[in-house]
Structure 1
Amino acid sequence: MKLKAFILSSLLLSSSNLSAAIMKPINGVINQVEPVIEQLKPNIRQPGDDLRKLELIDSAANLSTGLPVRLPIVNKLNEPVFVEVEVEQGFRAVERQWVILAEQHHQAKLAQIGAQIVNHKQYEGLGLSLVSFVVPPSYDSKTKLQALLSLDESALLDRNHIYQAQMRAQQGSLTKPRKPWCEIPVKVGMIDSAVDMEHPGFAAAQIKTQSFLPNQLASPSQHGTAIAGVMVGKHAQLTPRLTQATLYSAAVFYRQSDLSQGATLAAIVDALNWLVSSGVPVINMSFTGPDNAILAAAIDATTAKQVTLVAAAGNEGPAARPLYPAAYKNVIAVSAVNKEGAIYRWANQGDYIDFTALGVSVLTLQAGEGLGRESGTSMAAPHISAAAACLAAKSKATPESIYGQLEQLAKDLGEPGKDAVFGYGLID
């Protein structure tokens, strides 16, 4: 702890323009030791200057996952599937791959520049027809593609962006089990990683699974198991928020590194289409990424089917830009608090925050038959999804009426009324 503090303080205080090239290699270590810092911080009593150094260290610990600018993704046979790269605004995407609302004359123009059509899919549940394609390097720009295809700014064209899970490991002592939101049959969906179906905590759970990963690309099960564990997991020390749920689990995440996992826009749209077609009334989305025209259209199509969407607000800090899908107006954005009602220190803030729920040191199932604690807005979202699923089952309510009922249930925190930190307040 002292050695880490000394090294990071020296690096951070020596230059106000510390490069990402220096920080990325040590970021993985930072993320692993952050839970230890969190436990030790209450015992620290130091002069103001040292506390400022500690704040800088904390900021360093929340930097990006340290992924390389160009990252080949391989399947379980070690065969290449695609390459993800860093693109505009520091977000990530499949290299030179774009998605567009399908029209024949667009495809003809794409053929003229040597673009490769990856697939053409009809999404019956969403009522969308989309084409994915790879462009030559000279056309790898939204501006150039809009000009080529004679599109305006509102056209449904965007990169096949990568979205990230929003969870951190957290240590802590065990607490008493939480009460179920309801004990009636409900349906709820989640778009996440795979779930460890062999975990004894799911022995009594009804879970329907579907993978949307291509070409034998494996999905890790850590994140999805933790999210599913909140909603339907059962253990001597863990009571599910939904005791009679049928959970529809759409696996979209693949491994990027030991510390991170990503999901393509294309896989997320596939998952939304499956869940809508399955008649799921509430969908949990514990991931974040950029605003994307295709994702926005898929979200609109989903809510038009009277489906309530719940998403993690993001873990990039109070000064961070809005993240999506949470920041879309027709998605319930969930932030995280600890058991005392204090906001999670890495939670995004903004006018788009709707509600908060327990998201710090949340007791849940862990892949490999374990039980442990996780933190992040990812862990707060399934509490709200469970509540929404109960409301949907009891009243056959619309997304608008479910939102109104949640607003009535919320315990106001922070400034009176809806605010940028807690939204309308705590749902518990």
Structure 2
Amino acid sequence: MRNRFIKAGLAALVACGVAATPAFAQLGLPQVGQTVGDTVDRTLGTVGQVLDPVERDVDAIGRIVRALAQRRLARLDRLVRRNRDRIERDAAGDPARKGELLLVDPSPEMVARARAAGFAPAGEDRLDELGLVVTRLAVPRGMDLAQGEKALARLLPDATISADTLNFQSGVRPGARGTARLSASTRTIKTPVGMIDGAPGATIRVAATRGFARGAPVPSNHGSAVASLLASAGVRTIYAADVYGTDPAGGNALAIARGINWLLGRDARVISISLVGPRNALLARAVKAAQSKGAVIVAAVGNDGPAAPPSYPASYPGVLAITAVDGHDRALIEAGRALHLDYAAPGADMLAADARGRWRGVRGTSYATPLAAARAAAALDGHDAARPVLDREARHLSPASAYGRGLLCGTCRRAR
């Protein structure tokens, strides 16, 4: 068992090292033409004679995990360096929209005090479905974002203050090894499902798409894959919120909050979020408000490995945190972590549609998330709460630290 796990881990590391993800593309890294599957096969073939000694080395997995964490840091650093006019780091060191801070539900006195200190109001968003008001403040000239965030926190100690931090898609681009498509669902799922992602392509039927970033909506491979998996799993009504568009600072917390607000207005009872990012005060409030309206939030744990920081929104209380398994029901070694783990679902060795409607291989927790979201929606078709139904449906796998409360949609895949 351990040998198989290490082999899968080595393959995952090679895949992460040579294949560009949608998040990588947003981070400015070059695309790689070779598919993940071909590269893994070729690489493992050339190191076959040394694989057995590596299997006996219990440090191999540790090296993989450390490499994944280091790769994450390198991606973020490159993102900031290549987009200095739009992105900078906040007080916690996370990438965020440059020169702008967010006040959530501020009093008029708070806004006035901020203005007097040089934080000029740059706009206001009234998120009526969430019951939130967000005031955007421009950081004073001469301050960077981190300095401004600290200064505003000292000025307004009782305010909810946030940088507009960025969130990233959590799956390998279409083109990874894929050997199966989803079995056609025998039951149509009536509960509407919303997705926060890039926009799906024209070949994937959704009820509506709305953009919440510059240039949006723009069809993307990642958003198309997520939408196609929702549709293949039986979801009849899909609403897509594009939070990326053509903006280098897309996927920000305010765009996601706007998207959730719109989806609630469309009566989406389940919201699938295949994105990961840092803890964010605005997004935490938006998620909690959506849950108070009865929405089930389903989110990916990401693909930066267990040494990466906990991923959000998966780590927020009550969010269904989803990890992924391969075609042999083995946990993906590159799967990230959250402060809790709820379920696993298929996320590798399967096919999904790209923006042009071609069915291509995918890998990552991004693609497990819509399958889990579809099962949550199916549970809500006949019940008031999804979690008890999902607990009965999930197939137990051990250990719980890798699979949560069990595997959902485990029989969804079929051979081509």
Find the counterpart in structure 2 of residue 212 from structure 1. 212
Give the alignment partner of residue 333 of structure 2, picking from 324, 327, 345: 345
Q: Distance in 1 between matches of 2:192 and 2:29?
A: 39
What do the CA deviations read for 1:336-387 (whole angstroms, capped 9, x no partner)? 0001110112101355111000001331111113110111110000001101
Shift, 1:420, TM fit: 2.0
Q: Distance in 2 between matches of 1:339 and 1:139?
A: 47
> Which protein, 1 or 2, shows the higher relative CO under an 8 Å CA cutoff with sep ≥ 6?
2
Residues 226 and 370, structure 2, Cα contact 8 Å, conserved in 1: yes
Structure 2: stretches of 5+ with no match in the other structure: 1-9, 15-26, 410-416
Q: Distance in 1 between matches of 2:271 and 2:288?
A: 13
Give the alignment partner of residue 249 of structure 1, picking from 224, 236, 240: 240
SS in 1 for 2:201: coil
Find the counterpart in structure 1 of residue 324 from structure 2. 336
Q: Distance in 1 between matches of 2:39 and 2:91?
A: 33
Find the counterpart in structure 2 of residue 196 from structure 1. 201
Cα distance change of structure 1 residues 70 and 111 upon mapping to structure 2, 3 Å threshold: farther
SS in 1 for 2:360: strand
Cα RMSD of the aligned pairs, angstroms, is 3.2
Residues 58-77 of structure 1 mapped to structure 2, 5 A cutoff:
60=67, 63-64=71-72, 65=75, 67-72=78-83
**Which stretch of structure 1 is more off in the superposition, 87-96 or 315-324?**
87-96
Cα distance change of structure 1 residues 255 and 361 upon mapping to structure 2, 3 Å threshold: farther
Structure 1: stretches of 5+ with no match in the other structure: 10-24, 74-81, 233-239
What do the CA deviations read for 1:13-38 (whole angstroms, capped 9, x no partner)? xxxxxxxxxxxx99647896754443
Cα distance change of structure 1 residues 408 and 224 upon mapping to structure 2, 3 Å threshold: same
Residues 166 and 376, structure 1, Cα contact 8 Å, conserved in 2: yes
Q: Which amino acid aligns with 1:272?
A: I
Q: Distance in 1 between matches of 2:28 and 2:129?
A: 44
Find the counterpart in structure 2 of residue 186 from structure 1. 191
SS in 2 for 1:263: coil
Cα distance change of structure 1 residues 383 and 212 upon mapping to structure 2, 3 Å threshold: same
Q: Distance in 2 between matches of 1:100 and 1:26?
A: 30
What do the CA deviations read for 1:187-208 (whole angstroms, capped 9, x no partner)? 11101101112x2xx3xx3421
Residues 166 and 288, structure 1, Cα contact 8 Å, conserved in 2: yes
SS in 2 for 1:369: coil
**TM-score normalised per structure 2:** 0.80
Find the counterpart in structure 2 of residue 156 from structure 1. 160
SS in 1 for 2:237: strand
Q: Distance in 2 between matches of 1:173 and 1:373?
A: 4
1:86 aligns with 2:89: yes
Percent of residue pairs bearing the same amino acid type: 26
Find the counterpart in structure 1 of residue 6 from structure 2. none
Q: Distance in 1 between matches of 2:327 and 2:179?
A: 12
What do the CA deviations read for 1:227-277 (whole angstroms, capped 9, x no partner)? 001011xxxxxxx1115x1111111114577xxx84111111111111111
Find the counterpart in structure 2 of residue 422 from structure 1. 403
1:404 aligns with 2:407: no
Shift, 1:113, TM fit: 2.4
Q: Distance in 2 between matches of 1:386 and 1:210?
A: 21
SS in 2 for 1:118: strand
1:45 aligns with 2:29: no
Q: Which amino acid aligns with 1:104?
A: P
Find the counterpart in structure 2 of residue 361 from structure 1. 349
What do the CA deviations read for 1:150-195 (whole angstroms, capped 9, x no partner)? 32xxx42110111101111353353354242732433111011011
Q: Which amino acid aligns with 1:40?
A: R
Find the counterpart in structure 1 of residue 377 from structure 2. 389
Q: Distance in 2 between matches of 1:26 and 1:289?
A: 17
Find the counterpart in structure 1 of residue 291 from structure 2. 303
